[in-house]
Structures are given as structure tokens and as C-alpha cells.
Structure 1
């Protein structure tokens, strides 16, 4: 590894994402395909979920795969300071990082980068 970071996952972190709303983070190979700034999560990079395998599984199961999975920063407010989130799996299926770490990844990793998310 070039560098490692502490991350937070979906509220149900065991097992791959199966369908929309299951609070799981996808597992597999994806692309970081675009990015945006976010009022709520600071910086965010979109993950190309669902991939072909995810879409095929969803069709077989008759469920929606979900989407809008991001690697993003952490909320930071008076009521909920950033350190509140750092040791929890709290997202709806995204990958969250401390804001300082997210700024570093944002500056180092270009759109079009392939990533692997694995347990």
C-alpha cells in the first residue's frame, strides 16, 4: 500500500452491498469517476457502483442495487464535531474519512482511478 487511512463504512458493515437501502458498502472493483464539494460531507468522490456484477445480481434478485456511493469527508459542526464520527460505521453505504485525510486523497487521486473495496 502507498498509504492507509482509518475509514468508516455503512451502518451494516458485514458483507457486500446487496440492494438499495441496506446500509452496506459495496465490495469489488470500481472507478472513481467524478467528484464534488459537499455542504454536508466536505469533499466527495463518486464510486462507479453498481458495476456489471452488482447490476446482474440485482436483476436476478429483483431488487434495486442503489447508487450514489461516495468516498467523502465527515460532517463537522458544534453539535457533532468530526471526532464523534471517526470510530463509528455510520454512513448509508459510503466510505467516510477524516476531512484532513479526504483532502489528501482528493489531491493525490485523479478521476478515472480504479479502486478495490474488500473486507
Structure 2
């Protein structure tokens, strides 16, 4: 009976250790800039002028053009900064961009609208969502796979500049 209990405990410990965690560690070169190229749908993590990693991305459901107002489905363009992180995101993990900046706010207010906000780099769609292979499905965010956001989340620190080009 004691042997069975020991074997069950060992089995449970192995099962728990086999489960992957979404929080990874990174000890490589500092990511000094994130570059997002909307036209090629690629995101690059750079250490100065050296590329460390690159990922295919999905964008807002209206990918052409700079985000103007809340709900337009566009991904912003320009210089922003990583300014927050959400370990409990409904999109696995997410890191936030400093959108809107002063120019974004002024532009939207001139149209009598809100610029929106909550633009993130995040993982894939929640389980059970109705994305079904759509290339661009976010409301303006930058999406990678869940496994990829685990690496990005570990590598990219708050304050890192992100440049988003058309």
C-alpha cells in the first residue's frame, strides 16, 4: 500500500513538472527596440542593429493606415513604448503600448472622437473564439501565437521603444 502511495506521488510530481509554464526566463542580449512592419506582417526584436528574433504577426482587422479613432480596427503607426504588461490577459499574455500619444489624442479630438487605447502585443485568440484562420482579426493589437508571446513577454522590458511602420 505504501509503495502505491509513493508511486502516485512520484507520478503526480512528474505530471506537474511536465506542464509548461507561460512565464519564461531570458538571459540573452537586451532587446533595445521592437520593430513592427505591418506590410510584411513581421515583428523584429532587436539588440541595437542586430536582430535577435522575428515573428509573423496578425494585426487589426483594418490593417491599412494609422489608427485614428476607437473601434476603427487599425493598428497604430509610429513610435511608442512598452508601458505595461498583463500576465492574466484573455489572450494568454500581453504587453501594452503607450498608444495613444499626444498627437493621437489631438487628432481624434479634432474629429470629435476618442482615440481608443488598450493596444497590446498579445497571444492568440481565446479558445473557442470564432477567428477561423483570419489573417487580421484584432481590434488594433499585434498578435502572435501563445508560445511566441511567452518569449516576447520574457525578452521585452517595460520602456522598450516600439516602432510600427506601414
Query: Same-fold call, TM > 0.5?
Result: yes
Give the alignment partner of residue 90 of structure 2, picking from 40, 43, 51.
40
Give the alignment partner of residue 103 of structure 1, picking from 150, 156, 160.
150
In structure 2, the residue matched to 1:50 is: 100
After TM superposition, where is structure 1 displaced by more than 4 Å over at least 4 residues in a row? none
User: Do the aligned partners of residues 64 and 97 (structure 1) sit closer, same or farther apart at CA in structure 2, a change above 3 Å counting?
Assistant: same
Q: Which has the higher contact order (CA 8 A, sep 6+)?
A: 1
In structure 1, the residue matched to 2:137 is: 90
TM-score (norm 2): 0.64
> Unpaired segments of 5 or more residues in structure 1?
none
* CA drift at 1:76: 5.1
TM-score (norm 1): 0.87
1:71-100 CA distance string (max 9 Å, x none): 1001353x45x9x54x61000111111111
